[in-house]
Amino acid sequence: MKEFFIGVDLHKNQFTVYMMNSNDEGTYTVFKTDEAGYKSFIGILEQSKQLGFKLNIAVESTGNTRYFRNRIESAGVIVKIINTMKFKVVNESINKTDKRDAKTIAEFLKKDVLPEAKLCSEESELLRRLVNVRSVMVSTKVKMKNQIHGILLGMSIKTKNGQLNSKKGRLQILDQLKATNNHKIIELLINNIEDIEKNIKKIEEEMEELTKEDRAVEILKSISGTGKISAITVRSQIDDIKRFDHYKKISSFAGLVPWVKCSDEKKYYGNITKRGPSELRVALVQMVLGMIRCKDEKDNILMIQYRNIKKRKGSGKALIALARKFTKLIWTLLTNDELYDKEKLSKEIYLEKIVSMQENQKLKDAA
């Protein structure tokens, strides 16, 4: 069968295409990322299909990849999305041009050795955007509060912890500053903080509306100490649990696994990789902290493990270690479609530990 292997180097304003046939002969074309550009490219694809060519297209994962894929697949052509983290040939090339990158993608596509990435669902992408916007707003609010604290400190005015979190506390501060030059600055900052809080509330309402019938969010919220924002954040990042055939892949995806370097007889384990969405790592740590605060969970197996690790390695490493354990808990609950059960959790981990000890003992006996 006649085939075309098409490498696409996609950018904000244009995309470069290299169309290579089975004899390694190819041509370059540059299209604008506007309606005319997409129509022109799709027209070429349709003509190639009419001539009996099988079309294979690959493009790197970037900001506008989803739109590109949707437009091309609407014409009946499947697009392969490249995992850029595992495909360094393009990024680390010495002679890097759009044409060369497109050709390299086409060549690797023909050999069928491109590492593939899966785009999340459009619903998950919307949730991720809402989570990110909320995070930016919360960060901005904190910065404004710090500005107020700094101004008050310069005036030798002491504030109580959390005083800026309530309307009453903010009014008290404004009353103290009525006769000072800083009154207008503080008033402006407080008004901005209140506006941001209103917008944060709207975003949270939209997030709840989108996930009100989401089974994954319901399961995540059943874990003791897990709030709605943490549950929605984890749900948006994981997307479909079927993407992960093992809980360790979620740990890796979240960047909670250590760097490993093994050569000859030497093995080195470093800090966690931190590769992957930081929002997911933060949400997992928040879930751990939430469970730590729950009085009813003080004696569960996870909290016992947390306290043991904390004694040996400190609270920071204990939190990360437990966050990694939470990925297994989350994967198990979502895969089995079941709510959190403290007693069942402790029993399963205990039995798993016994099995592991028995297996280790068998290995020692065999040696």
- Sorted by where each begins, the domain ranges of the chain are 3-111, 122-210, 215-366
Whether the Cβ atoms of residue 239 and residue 334 lie closer than 8 Å to each other: no
pLDDT, averaged across the chain: 88
Provide the pLDDT confidence category of residue 160 given band limits of 50, 70 and 90: confident
pLDDT of residue 318: 93
- What's the rounded Cα separation, in Å, for the pair 75 and 63? 21
Flag the least confident range among 57-71, 82-96, 144-158, 229-243: 82-96
Provide the pLDDT confidence category of residue 219 given band limits of 50, 70 and 90: very high
Picking from 106, 133, 283, 285, the residue whose alpha carbon sits closest to that of residue 203 is 133
Query: If you write DSSP's letter for every residue of 159-215 in order, what string do you get?
Result: --TTGGGSHHHHHHHHHHTTTSTTHHHHHHHHHHHHHHHHHHHHHHHHHHHHTTT-H
- Residue count of the chain: 367
Question: Which is higher by pLDDT, 315 or 269?
Answer: 315
114: left (phi over 0), alpha (psi -120 to 50) or beta: beta
Q: Which residue's entry shows tokens 């709840």?
A: 208
Whether the Cβ atoms of residue 83 and residue 113 lie closer than 8 Å to each other: no
Superfamily of domain 3-111: ATPase, nucleotide binding domain (3.30.420.40)
Flag the least confident range among 30-39, 190-199, 219-228, 254-263: 254-263
pLDDT of residue 91: 60
How confident is the model over 142-150, as a mean pLDDT? 92
pLDDT tens per residue across span 303-362: 888 999 999 999 999 999 999 999 999 999 999 899 998 777 766 664 565 445 555 555
